[in-house]
Amino acid sequence: MESLSLITFIEAAAVMVSSVSGMIKASEKKMDLVGAYSVALLVCFGGGTMRDILLNRRPFFWVENEIYLFMVLLVTIAFVYIPSVHNLTKLLHRRTNTIEAIGLGLFSISGLFAALNLGMPLFSSSLMGVITGVAGGVFRDIVINEIPVIFKFKGGLYAVASFIGCWICIFFVFFFNAAFLGFIIGTIAIIGIRLMSVYFGLKLPKPLWVTEEEE
Amino acid sequence: MESLSLITFIEAAAVMVSSVSGMIKASEKKMDLVGAYSVALLVCFGGGTMRDILLNRRPFFWVENEIYLFMVLLVTIAFVYIPSVHNLTKLLHRRTNTIEAIGLGLFSISGLFAALNLGMPLFSSSLMGVITGVAGGVFRDIVINEIPVIFKFKGGLYAVASFIGCWICIFFVFFFNAAFLGFIIGTIAIIGIRLMSVYFGLKLPKPLWVTEEEE
Amino acid sequence: MESLSLITFIEAAAVMVSSVSGMIKASEKKMDLVGAYSVALLVCFGGGTMRDILLNRRPFFWVENEIYLFMVLLVTIAFVYIPSVHNLTKLLHRRTNTIEAIGLGLFSISGLFAALNLGMPLFSSSLMGVITGVAGGVFRDIVINEIPVIFKFKGGLYAVASFIGCWICIFFVFFFNAAFLGFIIGTIAIIGIRLMSVYFGLKLPKPLWVTEEEE
């Protein structure tokens, strides 16, 4: 697989998208610069750091590419203090789902490739993709004391979208030896399934312990 | 110590018991399949993963034994969607304390052995046992936004039970060189102390900062 | 840099100060011995363990120096059960900010040195210092289900104090090759900035998303 530089590319894209998603949450919670930067760092690097800890990879990708840390800092300062950028927040707010879906897609596939490269078995690799995809958002929600969206029944398909997309990607990697194609189609699948579930109310079948009236 | 395969056996048992304990919590919170699976994974693998991260062991035991991940998935699907299994939940609900006590006992001793095998000093090893035993439940409670039972005064002996059992096990390992016996008696001690504290209200002496009327 | 034994010295001091800070929180929450010891362990070792995990250093400093674990246990038992020590709590309570500031300063600089010793680039090293300094408090607040002070706008300068102090320390290390001087001045700077921000209400400029009346 030619996927080492591919991972870097996916990561850079995921970091940029996620820093904006962190800003949306920080503005909602009226955080100051430090809070906003911390949340942005958690969203941007939480998933990848989790992945690197689980896979025992060092140095972390944000140590190797220190430029990421500056980029996120600049984005944060711009959103917190520059009026013209700040005004974007309201606009972006309506796009929260889209932005989070893109981050979910990119991080999931990056985690999947990292695990496959290290020779992990397929099912573990796909779970590693899901963990990398969702961990940033989970950490963010834990520190701001909310129940992570992944644990809410009404949240729509989130981890499931990541899981399906990972297996689509695995399919292309192993049957056509096409890592880049797998990345593209897997990511699009994750974003698509996630957004469809949000806009059309797709959900998993109702568990037996949820009764009619509770729903 | 002949304890490498012993650890595997203890782990398998602990995983099975803990997945059921995860289901009880998931049904309480009316979670969907993903939420239930995530909580089950946290309860089953949170403690052991924590242990492996702290001891720097790779691959994780759930990567080496991918079958665990499938087993937990099957248990989850059965509890969420199959009526006859689902009906067990109410029955098991009344047994929550017993099930959690068994998980606590098995995970604690497995963490203890793993640390001893790596040559850690005794006191650190016993704390590693306690951390492995309680971490799964702590993670579970953090993500569902509850205060972990270990931090509540009214929770009864929990970490203390694990701590005492670990030292009983250490005693047998070092004085009689009997790892298996230590495992059996240590685990039973943990389960016993935990359950006795729940049913007979055993507690640590009241701290000075808790006054009569507050209790 | 002659900083290896320096790190040990800083750590021991930070652990002692932090265990007392943990006791203050435990008395506030009316915890029992186990809760108090757990919180003390999190405050004392959470930051350093986080640092060691991120830097992939093993054994952890609390495994190498098991005596720390006993010291914290003794401090905890004394505060929970010995009346004359317990009476200090109220006195110390009024000094919470000072005690936490000292812990912040010592841990930040210890994290900074550890990262520099491993050859990490400067900006990452300074963030590593900040993470080591604040992580213990963040973990503590997460497990007791509070929003960590670092994320509250009204909390005053906290991470910022750590960040500035780390750069002051870096300045001395690199321009004068004076690790010990850097440690002293950096730590004092962190404590000073933190306390000034608490007592004189120093804050970061208000973010654009905080309006007049909300403040």
Residue B2 has pLDDT above 50, yes or no: no
Report the share of chain A in percent with pLDDT over 90.
27
pLDDT in tens, C127-178: 999 999 998 888 888 777 777 777 766 667 888 999 999 999 999 998 888 8
| Joined tokens for residue C149 | 């002070």
**Which amino acid would we find at residue C116?**
L
With a cut of 80, say whether residue B51 has pLDDT above it. Answer: yes
Best C143, C208, C212 residue to mutate vs chain A (most A CBs within 10 Å): C208
What confidence score (pLDDT) does residue A212 get?
Answer: 56
Side-chain half-sphere CA neighbours of B105 within 13 A: 25
Taking residues B113-139, report their average pLDDT. 89
Separation CA A188–CA A93 (nearest Å)? 22
* Helix (H) / strand (E) containing B175: helix B159-175
Nearest C-alpha neighbor of B51 from the set B158, B170, B172, B132: B132
Q: Indicate the length of chain C as a whole number.
A: 215
Structure letter (DSSP) for residue C150: G
Number of domains present in the structure of chain B: 1
Closest chain B CA to residue C59: B55
At residue C163, the pLDDT reads 94
In a domain, A212, yes or no: no
8 Å CB contact of A32 and C207:
yes
- Residue C169 contacts A, CB cutoff 8 Å: no
CB-CB under 8 Å, A148 with B34:
no
Residue among B147, B150, B206 whose CB faces C145 most closely: B147
Which residues numbered 124-143 in B keep a CB inside 8 Å of some CB on C? 124, 127, 138, 142
Examine residue B174 and state whether it is found in any structural domain, yes or no: yes
DSSP character for C70? Answer: H
Average pLDDT value for residue range A178-190: 92
Q: Report the pLDDT value the prediction gives residue B170, as an integer from 0 to 100.
A: 95
How would DSSP label each residue in A9-32?
A: HHHHHHHHHHHHHHHHHHHHTT--
Two structure tokens written together for B32: 């969907």
- Total CB pairs under 8 A between chain A and B: 73
CA A152 to chain centre: 17
Q: Hey, are the CB atoms on C146 and A142 less than 8 Å from each other?
A: no
Question: For A46-99, what is each residue's pLDDT tens digit?
Answer: 888 888 888 888 788 788 888 888 889 999 999 989 988 888 887 888 888 888
pLDDT at C2 over 70: no
Report pTM.
Answer: 0.80
Q: Does the beta carbon of A201 lie under 8 angstroms from any beta carbon of chain B?
A: no
Using the structure block, give the residue that is written with the tokens 């490269």.
A117
Chain A contact probe: residue of B24, B30, B32, B85 with most A CBs at under 10 A: B32
CB < 8 Å to A32, chain C: 153, 203-204, 206-207, 210
CA atoms within 13 A on the CB side of C162: 29
Chain C contact for A98, CB < 8 A? no
Asked if residue B212 is part of any domain, the answer here is no
CA distance C102 to chain B (A): 25
CA distance C81 to chain B (A): 6
- What mean pLDDT is predicted for residues B73-85? 90
Of all residues in chain A, the one with the smallest CA distance to C211 is: A30
Instruction: Tell me which of B209, B211, B215 to substitute to probe the interface with C (most C C-beta atoms closer than 10 Å).
Output: B209
Determine the pLDDT at residue A213. 53
User: If phi over 0 gives left and psi between -120 and 50 gives alpha, with beta otherwise, what is residue A119?
Assistant: left
Residues contacting residue A215 through CB under 8 Å, at least 6 positions apart: A206
Q: How far is it, in rounded angstroms, from Cα B171 to Cα B125?
A: 13
| Nearest-CB residue to C123 (from A49, A66, A83) | A66
Q: What is the pLDDT of residues C40-95, one digit of tens each?
A: 998 898 888 888 888 888 788 788 888 888 889 999 999 989 988 888 887 888 88
Subunit partners of chain B (3 or more CB pairs within 8 A): A, C
Predicted local distance difference test score (pLDDT) of residue A130: 93
> Domain of B143?
4-199
In chain B, the residue whose alpha carbon lies closest to the alpha carbon of A155 is: B32
Closest Cα to residue C155, out of C207, C97, C98, C114? C97
Q: Is the Cβ–Cβ distance between B148 and C143 less than 8 Å?
A: yes
User: Is the CB of residue B128 less than 8 Å from the CB of residue B51?
Assistant: yes
With tokens 């909602």, the residue in question is A28
- Which of A32, A58, A62 minimises the CB distance to C204? A32
Residue A64 in tokens: 């190797």
Q: Is C149 inside a domain boundary?
A: yes
Please give the structure tokens belonging to residue C86.
């317990």
Contact (CB<8Å) C124/A34: no
Residue partners of C209: CB distance under 8 A and separation at least 6: A26, A27, A30, A80, A86, A89
Residue B189: predicted pLDDT: 96
CA distance C123 to C66: 32
A184: tokens are 């593209």
Residue A74, both tokens: 């600049």
Which pLDDT tens digit goes with each residue over C12-23? 888 888 888 888
Q: Which chains touch A (3 or more CB pairs under 8 A)?
A: B, C
C59 touches chain A (CB under 8 A): no
pLDDT tens digit string along B98-123? 888 998 999 899 899 989 988 888 99
Would you tell me how many other CB atoms lie within 10 Å of the CB of residue C70? 10
Which 3 state secondary structure label does DSSP give B80? helix
The minimal CB distance from B27 to the residues A123, A127, A209 is found for A209
Burial class (CB in 10 A: 0-12, 13-18, 19+), C171: middle
Distance CA B155, CA A145 (A): 23
Whether chain C has a CB inside 8 Å of the CB on A145: the answer is yes
Q: Touching check for C90 and chain A: CB below 8 Å?
A: no
> CA–CA separation, A134 vs A11, rounded Å?
14
Residue B1 has pLDDT above 50, yes or no: no
Q: What is the DSSP letter of B1?
A: -
Contacts of A214 in chain B (CB under 8 A): 30
CA distance B48 to B114: 10
Maximum Cα–Cα distance across chain C: 52
Q: Is B124 helix (H, G, I), strand (E, B) or coil?
A: helix
0.85 surpassed by complex ipTM:
no
The answer as to whether C108 is a domain residue is: yes
Contact A23, A40 (CB under 8 A): yes
Please choose, from the candidates C106, C153, C151, the residue with its C-alpha nearest in 3D space to the C-alpha of residue C132: C106
Residues 6 or more apart whose CB falls under 8 angstroms from that of C147 comprise A143, A144, A145, C141
